[in-house]
Chains A and B, each alone.
Chain A
Amino acid sequence: MSNKEKEIVRKDRRSFLSVLPLGVLGVVGASLTIAAKRSLEPHTVAAADEGWKSLGDVAEIAGEEPIEKTIAVTCRSGWSKTVEDVSVYVLPKHDNKVLSSVCPHEGCPIVWDADSKNFLCPCHDSFFSDEGQRLTGPAAKDLTEYETRVENGKLQIKV
């Protein structure tokens, strides 16, 4: 073999050898990337307690104004289990209809404006009638209505 050929062989061997370290780096990197992807997958479990929730004695629900009520909803997410107080509006004026207090636009909690007799969202000024119909503002839909029933004199909604 001439010197030049020797040189070429050595170069080939060298470039092969430099692939090996890269391969090792690749294996270490890939193992950890896979573990990272798997371990960071979110752990979500939808609202743990679905079903009928009581809002109190139907006999006591009366008046002109919507009444804000709170129900405790347990949510499980990963290592934590939270009991959240979800508030809803009962409308005694409209056949005890129950409205969600979440604005259909971008999820802010709506408030009752006693002066204008409207629901209003403080985030982007969406207005809803006292029955939950969209009046003005960026919200495209009416306020969400809950399914209701009366059991043993208690008003209940389905969560």
Chain B
Amino acid sequence: MAAELEMKGFSLGDWLSRETEFHSITYRLLDEPGSGVSAWSRTTSGVIALLLFLQIATGILLAFHYVPAVGSAYTTVAFIELAVRDGAWIRSLHYHSSVLLPIVLAAHLLQMIVRKAYTANRTAWVFGLAMLALVLGAGATGFALPWDARAINGVNIAASLAGNTPFAGEMLRTWLINGATISTLTLSRFYGLHVWIVPMLILLSVAARVFIFGKTDDGRDHDKLSVWAKQQFVRNAVIVGLVFLALSIFSSVYPAPFGPQLADTATYLPRPGPQFLWLFEMQKYTDGQVAAMLALGFPALVIGGLIALPLILKSKGGLLRIAISMVFLAGFGIVSGLTAFAIYQDRSESRISEQLAKQERDEAEFRASSFEPQIQHVERAPVKAEPAPEGPDGSIQTASSESPLSIPSAYTTNCTKCHGANGEGTKKFPELVGITTREEDQLTPELVLDIINDPKSVGRSAKMPAYRNKLSELEKQEIVSWIRSLAPQPDGGVERTVQTARVEKK
């Protein structure tokens, strides 16, 4: 036995690779023999494997910090960017490899077209196209997660495109935003799609490609093939190593974009990632159903067409080649043309380019700042009859039993212009008396606080500015308590009002 091992030159690496089926994965990355330039051009599959791996690995690391709720998403991403060690690099790797994936997949498809691999290896062809659709889906859903100004605008656009889809519009829109308005539930939906559904589909596709459709009983000389395969594996490794090195350095120099909170966005110009600039440019010229049909129909037509053509034109080699090349080039041409034009427009119009430059400076300033934690929540003390204790920093305030409470000074300085000196409202703006009790409003203290922080984040009036950073937490709580004290409480008791209002602060 020992002699046999010696003779065969037993190698741990070979054994591991056989036992773990690793060799079949590497084998799948290689397809058929070739040499020279054509062999090097075929290392795109290795790069795709690297990028998918990076997406998953960095995604998991981000998930350790990220909390998908309107009140915490932005804060946790800011925390990742500013406070987590290597956090900015990890997020940047995640972002840049997501931009790179569609580009490498396009290159992969192009080299398959040149080799006519769309008929020779149909599984690989369909897999490449499905992967392209999935990584675009991953990008489109991941875009929403930071809940910054870019994300919220992106969600608005996605919701409106879904809503304008013919026939099923309203249903799609309600499903996507998870309710009637954009809320924290919308974020849960994008989170579920981005973190669970799309990666699962990607992993399942990879597994299917490698293990189910990966058999090669092609009668080729397997000895020759395996020498070639090994060499090709080395070529893949060289390219993968270079790409990883370049991407690592690039990601440490250029962080992933992170916009301001929606609160400070009067002039902010949201821009999508480079892989979606074509879609962004398309939206400038279309509206309503046309916009929705183009946004969804264009990629569906290109990807679906490329999948379907080899099946439709099975026997017509020459015609098939022309048709496939035409569809690919048309799709690629339209995407790169629109992308180039979007960049050109942003650069050439001084109003826009100046604002974009300002946004870059703001972002650099943000990155240079230190992380400020926000008060996440206050645990409620049991409401007791005994006098509440007092303390220097917002320990429990006892409310006087006479209602209403006195008007908070922060209200007088910030809110009276629109809502009246005593919350009675003005011509154009609503009164506040009773908004917490009236049937049609019945705002919870949490919602009132959300509205003060940022009306848009809970789908309210866009005219009222966001006060998230303009008032202190204590001032906001005073205003909430005061508004509640303006109308009789169903559970009767101002004391309770103060308690409940203090409970909620994300």
A contact residues vs B (CB 8 Å cutoff): 11, 14-15, 17-18, 20-25, 27-28, 31-32, 34-36, 38-41, 43, 49, 53-57, 60, 67-72, 74, 76, 78-85, 87
Contact = CB atoms under 8 A, between A and B. Distances in A.
Given A67-B386, A72-B396, A53 B391 contact: yes
Interface of B: 9, 11, 13, 26, 50, 53-54, 57-58, 61, 64-65, 72, 75-76, 78-79, 83-87, 89-90, 227, 230-231, 233-234, 236-238, 240-241, 244, 248, 371, 373-382, 384, 386-391, 393-396
A79 B371 contact: yes
Given A28-B244, A83-B378, A72 B394 contact: yes
B56 to A, nearest CB: 10
B391 A35 contact: no
A84 B54 CA distance: 39
Contacts of B64: 39-40
Contacts of A83: 375, 377-379, 394
Contact of B85 (A32, A41, A49, A70): A41
- By secondary structure, the A interface counts as mixed
B376 A80 contact: yes
A134 to B, nearest CB: 26
Contacts of B375: 81-83
Going nearest first, the 10 A-B pairs with the smallest beta carbon separation are A21-B237, A79-B79, A80-B376, A72-B395, A85-B381, A24-B241, A38-B85, A70-B381, A81-B373, A35-B86
A81 B380 CA distance: 15
B78 A28 contact: no
A84 B379 contact: yes
A69 B76 contact: no
Nearest to B87: A39
A70 B240 CA distance: 59
Most buried by B among A14, A25, A81: A81
Nearest to B53: A28
Contacts of B89: 35
Nearest to B9: A11
B61 A54 contact: no
A17 B234 contact: yes
A11 B233 CA distance: 16
A81 B244 contact: no
A54 B231 CA distance: 75
A40 B231 CA distance: 38
A143 B236 CA distance: 65
Contacts of A40: 61, 64
Nearest to B386: A67
A15 B400 CA distance: 83
B381 A87 contact: yes
Contacts of B79: 78-79
Contacts of B78: 79
25 contacts: A14-B227, A15-B11, A17-B230, A18-B13, A18-B230, A21-B233, A21-B236, A27-B244, A28-B241, A32-B54, A32-B57, A35-B89, A43-B83, A49-B393, A56-B390, A71-B389, A79-B79, A80-B75, A80-B373, A80-B374, A81-B373, A82-B377, A83-B394, A84-B379, A85-B380
Contacts of B233: 18, 21
Given A17-B234, A39-B65, A68-B384, 8 more contacts: A17-B230, A18-B233, A18-B234, A21-B233, A49-B393, A56-B387, A70-B382, A72-B394
B170 to A, nearest CB: 37
Contacts of B381: 70, 85, 87
Given A20-B234, A24-B244, A38 B13 contact: no
A96 to B, nearest CB: 14
A55 B388 CA distance: 8
Contacts of A56: 387, 389-390
B148 to A, nearest CB: 15
A38 B78 CA distance: 17
A54 B390 contact: yes
Contact of A85 (B75, B83, B240, B379): B379
A79 B75 contact: yes
A79 B373 contact: yes
A23 B244 CA distance: 13
A81 B391 contact: no
A55 B57 CA distance: 50
A42 to B, nearest CB: 11
A81 B382 CA distance: 21
B389 A39 contact: no
B389 A81 contact: no
A71 B379 CA distance: 11
Contacts of B87: 39
